[in-house]
């Protein structure tokens, strides 16, 4: 399936402010799924599990870092700011992925971090590539 085309009804993704999320891993076939934007309940990990994408996880509570993913915006509207949860800041700092200076700068610039925890991040109205 070409990048940017998900299974189902493509037009629905625009009518209901849905985002296309493509999960990618060299060991698996890419999978693109829909996410309802701003649902405030659908984390990336929940979406991955629903669509049988084998993203690693353990605690599901922002503590262990096993679900760390790298994000890239592939949306023509441009990048959106995503706030990091306090748990993500702590874990990503501990994994040497995101120093405090960078966390501070992202907040000032309202820019997203390329590293996130899939169990903490909620979908937004932005098409993204998720490397896991």
Footprint of ligand FES (CB under 6 A):
57-60, 62-67, 91, 117, 119
Give least dist CB 7 to ligand FES, A: 26
Radius of gyration (C-alpha) of the chain in whole angstroms: 14
Q: Which residues make Cβ contacts (< 8 Å) with residue 40, sequence separation at least 6? A: 122
Give least dist CB 115 to ligand FES, A: 12
Q: Give the whole-angstrom CA distance, residue 39 versus residue 16.
A: 11
Nearer to ligand FES, 46 or 66 (CB): 66
Give least dist CB 59 to ligand FES, A: 4
* Token pair belonging to 7: 């299974």
Nearer to ligand FES, 1 or 95 (CB): 95
Nearer to ligand FES, 18 or 21 (CB): 21
Query: How far out from the chain centre does Cα 104 lie?
Result: 20
């Amino acid at each position: 399936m070409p990048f940017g085309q998900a299974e189902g009804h493509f037009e629905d993704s625009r009518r209901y402010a849905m985002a296309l999320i493509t999960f990618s891993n060299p060991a698996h076939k890419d999978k693109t799924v829909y996410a309802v934007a701003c649902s405030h309940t659908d984390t990336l990990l929940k979406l991955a599990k629903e669509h049988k994408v084998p993203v690693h996880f353990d605690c599901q509570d922002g503590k262990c870092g096993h679900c760390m993913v790298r994000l890239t915006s592939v949306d023509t509207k441009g990048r959106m700011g995503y706030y990091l949860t306090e748990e993500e800041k702590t874990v990503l700092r501990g994994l040497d992925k995101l120093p405090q200076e960078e966390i501070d700068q992202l907040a000032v610039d309202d820019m997203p971090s390329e590293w996130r925890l899939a169990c903490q991040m909620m979908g937004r109205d932005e098409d993204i590539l998720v490397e896991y």
